[in-house]
Each structure stands twice: as C-alpha cells, then as structure tokens.
Amino acid sequence: MSFRLGLTGSIGMGKSTTAQMFVDLGCALWDADAAVHRLYAKGGAAVAPMAEICPAAIVDGAISRDQLREAIQMDASLLAKIEAIVHPLVAEDRRDFVAKSESDILVFDIPILFETGGNAAMDAVVCVSIPAELQRKRVMARGTMSEAQFEQIHAKQMPNEDKVAKSDYVVLTDTLDHARAQVEKIVQTIRGQLADA
C-alpha cells in the first residue's frame, strides 16, 4: 500500500520545484494542473463535453483557458457547469495514476487541496511556504501576470498561515538547499513509518 502525500501551497511558494525534489527521491508525482492540461488538450476527455456547454472556448480542437475565462466573466453560472465536467475527469485521472503507480510514496501536487477537501484522501500533507513579501517578489519576477492578477489569485486561495497550520509538514522554500534538506527528512520519516508498519 502506497503512502499518499498531499503537496500544496499558494502561488509563487515553490511548489513545482519542491515536487521535483520528491520525484528525485523516488516518489511518484501526480500534478493536478498537468491533469487539467491533458484534459483540455486536443483529444482530451474534457473537450467534447465542454464544446456542448461553451463552444466559444474550443480553439483548434482544444480548450482555450483564456476563452474559458472570458466566457465565465460574461456568465458566472458557467463555472459550476465546467466544474461538473472537469472535477470527475480529474478524479478519474488521479485514480488511474494510483492504479498504475508502483512507488512507495505517491505525491499529489494540488494547489487547492484544502479548499476542495482533498486533504481527506491523504495520509499526510506537506505545505510549501515563504514569507508573503518573498512570494510577491517571486511571482512578479516571472513577468507572467500583473499585480492585479496576482492579487485576484491570492484572494481566492486559503491564507498561507491557515494552510501551514493544517499541514503535517511544512517546507520553507527560502533556498534550494534548505528545501531539499527538509524534503529528504520528510521522505526518510515516511519511509521509516512504512518500514515499521
């Protein structure tokens, strides 16, 4: 039986980099955002049902996130319909991953793990964290969004201190070496528990 480890954290906290550190230590990784990308891509399972409720969002046989965002802004009721299509497909993708994975530790990279109640399906949760000013600096340095867009995303996510308080482990991602040392310790701890079980 594999150990299910949830990995969460707000935007710009270093979650993707931390997820890769777990992979480097032999853990298997399921990435919620990557699953959605697969579903939205040409031939993806979400394309046909989405075309029925929001044909404007389909561009070149794939779902355009930008078009989808625009459609939701014009019709807020669309969001619930989209979630009704996407959430079960994402859950199915996750089940397939679990069924096929042979690793002792399965890491589930889910940005809104607590917000969606996904933590209930995990054996433990890791939250990546950095101080708010460093978070803002990192996100702005990417040059991919405006200050207003960052604030909008930030406002939708559970406050960092709440995520930290609810998590079993916290990885401070102030430096790569520090983060890696914490990840190694977490993996060692879990593997120790699995060996004793």
From first to last of its 197 residues, what are the pLDDT tens digits of the chain?
799 999 999 888 999 999 999 999 999 999 999 999 999 999 999 999 999 999 999 999 999 999 998 998 898 899 899 999 999 999 999 999 999 999 999 999 998 899 889 999 999 999 999 998 889 898 899 888 888 888 888 787 888 999 999 999 999 999 999 999 999 999 999 999 999 87
Q: Are residues 147 and 107 in contact, defined by beta-carbon separation less than 8 angstroms? A: no
DSSP state of 75: -
Q: Which residues pair with 127 in a beta bridge?
A: 8, 170
Tell me how far apart the alpha carbons of residues 38 and 32 are, in angstroms, rounded to a whole number: 10
22 and 116 part of one domain: yes
110 and 96 part of one domain: no
* 3-state secondary structure at position 189: helix
Contacts of 136 (CB under 8 A, 6+ apart): 12, 150
108 and 190 part of one domain: yes
- The residue assigned the tokens 């978070």 is 135
Amino acid 139: pLDDT? 87
60 and 147 part of one domain: no
**87, 102, 117 — which closes off a domain?**
102
Tell me how far apart the alpha carbons of residues 73 and 67 are, in angstroms, rounded to a whole number: 10
164 and 193 part of one domain: yes
Residue 14, domain extent:
1-27+104-197
**102, 135, 154 — which closes off a domain?**
102
Number of domains in the chain: 2
71 and 117 part of one domain: no
Q: How many residues does the chain have?
A: 197
71 and 43 part of one domain: yes
- Over its C-alpha atoms, the chain yields an Rg (Å, rounded) of 18
115 and 165 part of one domain: yes
126 and 172 part of one domain: yes
108 and 91 part of one domain: no
Amino acid 51: pLDDT? 94
User: HEC string of 2-61?
Assistant: CEEEEEECCCCCCHHHHHHHHHHCCCEEEEHHHHHHHHHCCCCCCHHHHHHHCHHHEECC
What's the CATH code of the domain at 127?
A: 3.40.50.300
Amino acid 143: pLDDT? 86
67 and 128 part of one domain: no
Q: How far is residue 183 CA from its own chain's centroid? A: 17
**72, 102, 132 — which closes off a domain?**
102
Amino acid 183: pLDDT? 98
98 and 113 part of one domain: no
Q: How far is residue 61 CA from its own chain's centroid? A: 25
